[in-house]
Amino acid sequence: MQDFAPDQVVVNSAHFIGGVYVDGGSNLIDVLRPSDGHVYAGLPVADAALVDRAVENAWHAFKTSNWATQAPRDRARILRRWADLIEADVAVLAPMEALGSTRPIRDAAQWDVPFTAEGIRFFAEFADKHGGEVAATRSDHLGMTISEPYGVVAAIAPWNFPLVMASWKIGPALAAGNAVVLKPSEMTPYSILRVAELAIKAGIPAGIFNVIQGDGRITGDSLCRHPKVSKVTFTGSTQTGVAIMRACAESGTKPVTLELGGKSPQIVFADAPDLDKVARMVAAAISGNAGQVCVAGSRLIVQRGAAEQVVAGIIRAFDALQAGPTWRQATTLAPIISKGQADRINGIVNRTVAAGAQLLTGGALAPSTGNGSYYLPTILAGVNSSMEAVNSEIFGPVLTVQVFDDDAEALALAAHPDYGLAAGVHTSDISRALRFARSLEAGTVWINRYGRTSDFVIPTGGYKRSGMGKDLGRQAFEANRRVKSVLIDFAE
């Protein structure tokens, strides 16, 4: 896809309830383009009354449409049609996604939109692949379990991958027969509205997928606490995840799926098959989306004999990146989502350097035209586990480097007191790789690679304060169904 003119992209600043756009009133939030800081729209904030309207509408659709009760293959057919419409709409969706997010147009067109469509197809195929069981009982009894949808699932999506993260929530919930009320991030609210339009065109009943706009304090909290919301799924910060758990406990209780923060290690042994390739992989895992990725490989833990070569390769990869607005094809280093976040990143780097870390490259805002915030990919060496950049989730392109001599030291450095979202291990020793896969406290361990592909069957989720439950995979579908036990005595 080619460069596009940002001022020519039209967005609909509204809610989407019952298959139509709904005006949100005069209480508006400024929505900025991260690439240049330009305010391009005003976002309505749904108050408790509008949240109630959206949830009641979804509940009514769940009860009165045939979405949950139709043959699962029919539901799957509609979802596949929806996925086809999303994929075919890339010329509209990709610029809309890139405009207000940190996703460069090339990535949005080649990855985000197709990945969103394929994820919905994957979960569509689960619609008729899951059922109840017959239990072992006495011969004059019949014991069985019945799997049923919850009803209305509330989904709260983050800003870093707006379409993809929303699809992780929507896909399994709808395939399982639920209705969904989604709140996108107030910083990236618009592309999912186009997807909601396409849902109606595909044949999903009006009200089964509603979108409400707003912030977390008013809209998100009201959504989580609504009495007709039966489950909540969220991706975002650990701090917000705690608040969501509290709201669900106080108003239910309700099950939650939470994918939260991470501080993921990349462990590189000197026997890794190709250290230059590993260096490029490590660089991509922290500079992709400017490090604004929950599974970003932000801690390099490298064996002493390989450290110099690997770090040099990472610096070369960083030097090749080109910062620029998301509407330019040539952009390979995305903007930071906001000036406040860029200042936060810079503050952590400066404090860590002041504490004794060695700045090898980066460590400052990149030059830019306009008011966008771009941060130079940064490497901090000479760090220890007590330093802020090693402990805190930075959510920016900042890599710390720690050196080890043996397996035990590598595992000790990789351990984090709070986070356990993902980890990478690079080695040609398969026995060591399997030992580390067992020993690392992380929900996902990548061996001789780092990052996801389109293997939707592999679930993702964290240990410790990195979350609970799973997105993707069979587990995500099952988390959107509840189980009823039935025991029948035979009549004589």
Contacts of 139 (CB under 8 A, 6+ apart): none
| Token digits of residue 313 | 């390769």
Q: Please, what is the end-to-end C-alpha distance for the chain in angstroms?
A: 71
Residue type, 162: P
Catalytic one among 97, 186, 197, 259? 259
Asked if 248 is an active-site residue, the reply is no
Q: Name the residue among 365, 372, 367, 322 with its Cα closest to residue 99.
A: 372
The radius of gyration of the chain's CA atoms, rounded to the nearest angstrom, is 23
Residue whose token pair is 């009760």: 69
Q: What is the distance between the alpha carbons of residues 114 and 94, in angstroms, rounded to a whole number?
A: 10
- Catalytic one among 97, 186, 197, 294? 294
CA atoms within 13 A on the CB side of 55: 26
Task: With CA atoms as reference, report the closest residue to 112 among 231, 209, 206, 194.
Answer: 194
For residue 22, the cross-strand partners are 15
Do 336 and 289 contact (CB within 8 A), yes or no?
Answer: no
User: What is the torsional sign of CA 154, 160, 162, 168?
Assistant: negative
Cα distances from 420 to residues 3, 115, 262, 339, 430, in angstroms, run 38, 25, 6, 28, 22
d(CA 238, CA 244): 10
Q: Residue 301 pairs with which residues in a beta bridge?
A: 267, 402
What residues are annotated to the active site? 259, 294
